[in-house]
Chain A
Amino acid sequence: MAVLLIAEHNNKDLRPFTLNAATAASQIDADVHAVIIGQNSETAAKKLSELPLIKKVISIEAPHYENFTAENFAPAIVKIAGNYSHIVCSANTFGKNLMPRIAAHLDTSQVSDIIKVISPDTFLRPIYAGNAFATVKTNDAKKCITIRPTSFEPCESSGGTATIEKGEAAEEFSNTKFIKREEIKSDRPELGTARIVVSGGRGMQSGDNFKLITEVADKLGAAIGASRAAVDAGYISNDHQVGQTGKVVVPDLYIAIGISGAIQHLAGMKESKVIVAINKDGEAPIFSVADYGLEADLFEALPQFMAELNKLNTIQK
C-alpha cells in the first residue's frame, strides 16, 4: 500500500515543509500519494503534482476547507485512509494539531516527530528535548507519522507530472469556527528554513534592543530567532521562539546572543552546523554547544560585529 502525504498550503502555495515531509514519506515507500484539502486550491494542487516524488494527488475541496482546522481536515483524511499503509505530515504546528486527531479516529498510536526512517515500521525520534534518541517500532497496521522537517532535505519541486484526482469532502464540523490568523509578514528568510539564524535572549534586555540583532540579521540575510525568555518578556513575537516548545532549526550558522542556553533552548538549535555564542557569562551552558564562543558584553560586541561584517568584501547569501 502507498504512503499518504498531507500537504500544508495556503490554497496558492505549498508551505515549504511539505517538501521535507515528501522526502520522509518517500523513504518509507516509493509509492507516495499526496492529499491537499482546501478551497480554490488548484494552484497549490498543481504545484504539489509537480513534485517528482509524488505519484498521485488527491484534491479535496469545500468551502469549509478554506482555512485549516483539524476538526474539518481529519474526517476527510480518515475517509481515504483505507488505501494507505502510512499517513505522513510535518511535525510543525499544522501537523501537531492535525495528525493525532486522525490517528485517534483510526485507533492508531501515532509516532511523533521522527528524525530518521529506519524501516517502514521503525523510526528514530528525540525524547526529553532531544537529550535522548529513541528507536521505536510501531505495530499498528496503519501508521500515523509526523516528521521533524529539519531532519529531512526538501525534495525537488519541479519536473513531476502526477495526476490530480478529486476526493470527496467530509461533513463540516460546526462547533469550531476559524476567526482570524495574524501572520507576521517579513522579507527575511523563514526561521525554519533559513541558512543563518541570529537569536536573542533575555540578555537583550528590551524589545528595542532587538534592533541590534535585526541589523546583523539583515546584513547576513538571516532569520531572527529568540529564546523563550525573550518571547515571554515581550521582546519579540512567539513565531520567533526556538526550542523544545517552539521551532527546531538546523541552519548552517546559528548565532546565540545573550542566551544562557537552557536545555529547552538547546533542544531547538543544537543540531545547527556551526554555533556561535556571545554571552558575558563565561559559565553559561550555551558555550558547551558553541563552536565559537565569545565572552563579551553583547552591547559592545554587536556594534563591533556589524563593523567587522561591513569590512568584508563579500558575504554569502
Chain B
Amino acid sequence: MKILVAVKRVIDYNVQIRVKEDGSGVVTDNVKMSTNPPDDNAIEEAVKIKEAGKATEIVAITVGEEKAQETVRKALAVGADKGIHVKTEGALEPLAVSKIIQKIVEKEKPDLVFMGKQAIDDDCNQTGQMLSALLNWPQATFASNIEIKDNFLEVTREIDEGLETIQINIPAIVTCDLRLNEPRYASLPNIMKAKKKPIEEINVSDLRIDIKPRIEQLKVEEPPKRKAGIKVANVAELVQKLKNEAKVI
C-alpha cells in the first residue's frame, strides 16, 4: 500500500502573528515557519502504518514556494520515502491546492491520502474534502483513530456531539486530528539520511490547471482588542463582582 501525505508550511503555532500596517496581510518576513501541526500527525500516522508492515511506500507532497520544501524534507526525516514539491508562487486557495494534488494522485496512484484537518494559517478546513470530491473517493475528516483492515479503513472521527465511526473503502482520503497520535521528532542521523532522499520538483504550470484565485482578500486587520480587566483579591470579591457589577450570575 502506498500513502501520499500532504504537508503545508505555515507560521509556527507559537508565534503571535502581526498584521501588516497596510492591511495587505500578516507579517511573514523573519517569522519562524513550521509544518502545519496536524500535518505532522498525518505523517506520523503514515509512518506508523508502514512500521506495522501495512504500507510499503510513503510519499510526502507540498505545494508552495521554494522554502515550502523544508516541510517535505522534515517528512522525509521522520520516515517518508520520497518527496514531491509542486512549485507555486503567491497565495493559493484550497480548491487550487486540491486540484494540484488530484493531478499528483493520478500520477502516483496512492491507496490513501493523509493530511491535517485544517491549516492553522487560513483556518479554511477544505482541502481534504475538496480532493475527495474531485477524486470521488471516500473522506474521513477529523480522524482521531484509524484501523487498517483488508481493503477498507475504520476511522473514528471527532464530531461536535462526540465520536463517530465510519468505514471507508480504499482508496480514500483521511484528514487528521491532533489527537490521532503523538508526532515523533526526527533524529539527527535520520535528518542526515533525509538529505539523500529524492524530492521531485514540479512546476505548477506543467500541470496545466487553473489555479487563479477566485476570492479577493480586500483587507486584513487586527481584531478588536478586549479592554483590560482587573485582578480580584479573593473568591468573595470575584463572586460579588460577577453578581453586582457584571450581573452575569
Contact = CB atoms under 8 A, between A and B. Distances in A.
Interface stretch (A23-31, A49-57, A155-163, A181-189): A181-189
A136 B177 contact: no
Interface size band for B: 35 or more
B101 to A, nearest CB: 12
A132 B160 contact: no
B150 interface: no
B223 A131 contact: yes
Tell me the interface secondary structure of chain B in the complex: mixed
B138 A135 contact: no
Contacts of B144: 238
Given A108-B214, A177-B167, A220-B249, A274 B126 contact: no
B133 A105 contact: yes
Contacts of A109: 93-96, 213-215
Contacts of A206: none
Interface of A is mostly: mixed
B122 interface: yes
Interface string B209-235: 000011111111111001001111011
B94 A110 contact: yes
Nearest to B216: A137
Contacts of B238: 276, 292, 294, 305, 308
B246 interface: yes
A270 B215 contact: no
Instruction: Give the size range of A's interface with the partner.
Output: 35 or more
Given A100-B127, A291-B246, 5 more contacts: A99-B126, A113-B123, A138-B216, A238-B179, A292-B232
Interface of A: 69-71, 74, 91-94, 96-105, 107-113, 122, 126-140, 173, 175-184, 192, 196, 220, 228, 231-232, 237-239, 244-245, 247, 252-253, 263-264, 270, 273-276, 282, 287, 289-296, 301, 304-305, 308-309, 312, 315-316
